Amino acid sequence: MMYLLLLEDDLNLGRALHKLLQRQYRVHWLRTLAAARAHMEQGGYDLVLLDLGLPDGDGVDWLRSLRSAGCQIPVLVISARDRLDDRVRGLDTGADDYLVKPFEPDELLARIRVLLRRKAGTAEPRLTAGSLAFAADTHQVYLNGEEISLPPKEHQILAVLMQSVDKPVSRERLNRQLYGLGEGVDSNTLEVHIHGLRKLLGKDRIETIRGYGYRLVPL
């Protein structure tokens, strides 16, 4: 799963973005440049979402130091500064894209996908199961070649099933993906989301393995 660093000091916006992005990506939310500096090196991030006005400095300065150190990670600046010179300055400094607050969630997700795709090069790794395809880097789902969108939980379940096409996947593994470790799991919830997936993809596509879990059938 792609790993995003979200650098945003505004609590409300940070929380909302964290929630939004977590549906598709692993997200590390930090609120200061100091924290970003401390985590960047061993972070293993695939992309940075960078607010410019941070409590301990200007995001542009940090970006400049990243680029001058040879770090090529894609950086998407998200800022309320919408003056043209700010935008130009951000891009000149090495930002890959610039989004002005407030923005639509879909717009943000689309820009992130573009940057991640560009990073992955033209060869987008795809998992397929019959007429179903799943882009491993961007997590887009295609049915008969058309992109479809799934609710977050259904999307997470499918991501796991696509990694083991035609093989049984245990309920435990799927629940772990949905809820992580240590959270209370309502045993019926998984069924509800499987039902949702079947409605969207066709009921024969996901086979129930009694007493164990489910199998994604390549149709």
| Interface residues toward Ca ion, by CB under 5 A | 9, 51, 53
In the bound complex, what is the minimum distance in angstroms from residue 85's beta carbon to Ca ion?
18
Q: Which is nearer to Ca ion, 53 or 57 (CB)?
A: 53
Crossing angle, helix 171-179 and helix 152-162, to 10 degrees? Answer: 130
Q: Which is nearer to Ca ion, 46 or 51 (CB)?
A: 51
Task: Please name the amino acid found at residue 72.
Answer: Q
In the bound complex, what is the minimum distance in angstroms from residue 202's beta carbon to Ca ion?
45
In the bound complex, what is the minimum distance in angstroms from residue 100's beta carbon to Ca ion?
13
The DSSP-derived string for 82-139 is --HHHHHHHHHHT-SEEEESS--HHHHHHHHHHHHHHHH-S---EEEETTEEEETTT-
In the bound complex, what is the minimum distance in angstroms from residue 109's beta carbon to Ca ion?
21
Residues 6+ apart with CB under 8 A from 166: 129, 215, 216, 217, 218
> Which residue's C-beta sits nearest to Ca ion?
53
Q: Which is nearer to Ca ion, 59 or 213 (CB)?
A: 59
Q: Which is nearer to Ca ion, 6 or 47 (CB)?
A: 6
